C-alpha cells in the first residue's frame, strides 16, 4: 500500500508481495483512491511471533461497525452513502471475481464473509489473542489495540482468516492464555493430532483446545497469576526485541 497527500482519500495500490504469491488468474495489480474509513490493520499468520508481532498490514474492506459486529456494503450502498472511491474498488474487484471465480454460487461478498467470520468480529474490542491456524509450531500473541493502531490511515483492526482469535476480558487473561499456548507442553501435545505435510506437522486449528484441558482464566488462582506474570514478562521482552529482529519468520520464531 502507499498513500498520497490527501489522507481522507489516500491513493492505494495492492501489495506487490500478494501479487508475487498469487496464482493465475489472480495475478494483477489494482490501484486508486479509497476513503480512509474503509482502511484497517490486520496481522497475517506470517506476521505472528511468540508473544509479539513481526509486521502488520493495511487492508481495504467495505465494512463498518454495527453493534457488536460488522456491516458489509456492496458498491451500490457505498455509492449511495457518498463513498465513490470505495464503490469503484468494489465494482472493479466484483467484475474480476465474477469473470474468474470457480464457485459459481458464491458472490465476492459471500466469499469475503465466508461462514460469517468477518461480520461477527467486534472491532471495538480493546484486546485480542491471535494464533496461527496452520504451521509446524503453535505461535500466539496478545494484541493491545491501543498500541497497535498507530497507523495514521487505520480505522480499526480486523482479524485475518488464517488466524484464530479470542477477545479476552482483560490483558491479564490474554497474557495467561498466551503463556499456555506458547508453551512447549501444548505445542508437543498437539503434534500427534496434526496432519503431516511435506515439511512436517501442519494444521493447528482448534487442536490446542481440543487436545489440552486449558482451564478458564481465574484471577484468584495463584497458578493462573504466575502464568499471567510469565506471559506479561515475555510480551514485554519481545516488545523491546521485535523491532531489532530480521530474517525469515521461521528463524524469528525459533529465536523468540
What is residue 47's three-state secondary structure? helix
Is the distance from CB of 141 to CB of 52 less than 8 angstroms? yes
Tell me what pLDDT residue 84 has. Answer: 97
Residue listed under C-alpha cell 529465536: 255
pLDDT tier at 191 (50, 70, 90 boundaries)?
A: very high
**Beta pairing class for 39-42 and 48-49:** unpaired
- Asked whether the predicted pLDDT for residue 3 surpasses 60, the reply is no
- Asked whether the predicted pLDDT for residue 1 surpasses 60, the reply is no
CA distances from 96 to 30, 93, 107, 214 (A): 11, 5, 11, 44
pLDDT tens for 132-168 read: 999 889 999 999 887 776 667 788 899 999 999 999 9
Is the distance from CB of 30 to CB of 92 less than 8 angstroms? yes
Q: Tell me how far apart the alpha carbons of residues 176 and 166 are, in angstroms, rounded to a whole number.
A: 13
- Asked whether the predicted pLDDT for residue 103 surpasses 80, the reply is no
- Asked whether the predicted pLDDT for residue 105 surpasses 90, the reply is no
For the chain, the farthest-separated pair of C-alpha atoms sits apart, in whole angstroms, at 58
pLDDT tens for 217-240 read: 999 999 999 999 999 999 999 988
CA distances from 3 to 8, 9, 30, 85, 153 (A): 10, 9, 14, 14, 9
Amino acid at each position: 500500500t502507499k498513500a498520497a497527500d490527501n489522507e481522507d482519500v489516500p491513493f492505494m495500490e495492492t501489495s506487490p508481495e500478494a501479487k508475487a504469491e498469487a496464482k493465475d488468474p489472480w495475478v494483477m495489480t489494482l490501484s486508486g483512491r479509497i476513503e480512509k474509513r474503509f482502511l484497517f490493520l490486520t496481522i497475517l499468520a506470517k506476521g505472528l511471533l511468540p508473544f509479539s508481532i513481526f509486521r502488520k498490514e493495511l487492508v481495504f474492506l467495505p465494512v463498518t461497525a454495527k453493534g457488536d459486529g460488522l456491516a458489509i456494503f456492496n458498491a451500490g450502498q457505498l455509492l449511495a452513502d457518498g463513498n465513490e472511491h470505495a464503490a469503484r474498488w468494489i465494482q472493479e474487484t466484483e467484475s474480476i471475481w465474477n469473470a474468474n471465480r470457480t464457485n459459481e454460487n458464491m458472490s465476492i461478498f459471500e466469499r469475503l464473509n465466508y461462514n460469517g467470520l468477518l461480520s461477527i468480529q467486534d472491532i471495538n474490542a480493546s484486546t485480542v489473542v491471535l494464533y496461527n491456524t496452520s504451521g509446524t509450531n503453535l505461535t500466539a500473541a496478545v494484541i493491545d489495540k491501543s498500541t497497535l493502531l498507530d497507523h495514521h490511515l487505520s480505522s480499526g483492526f480486523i482479524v485475518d482468516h488464517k488466524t484464530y482469535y479470542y477477545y479476552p476480558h482483560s490483558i491479564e487473561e490474554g497474557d495467561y492464555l498466551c503463556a499456555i499456548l506458547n508453551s512447549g507442553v501444548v505445542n508437543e501435545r498437539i503434534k500427534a493430532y496434526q496432519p503431516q505435510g511435506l515439511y512436517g506437522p501442519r494444521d493447528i486449528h482448534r487442536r490446542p483446545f481440543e487436545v489440552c484441558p486449558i482451564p478458564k482464566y481465574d484471577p484468584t488462582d495463584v497458578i493462573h497469576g504466575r502464568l499471567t506474570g510469565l506471559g506479561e514478562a515475555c510480551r514485554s521482552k519481545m516488545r523491546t526485541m521485535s523491532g531489532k529482529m530480521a530474517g525469515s519468520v521461521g528463524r524469528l520464531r525459533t529465536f523468540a
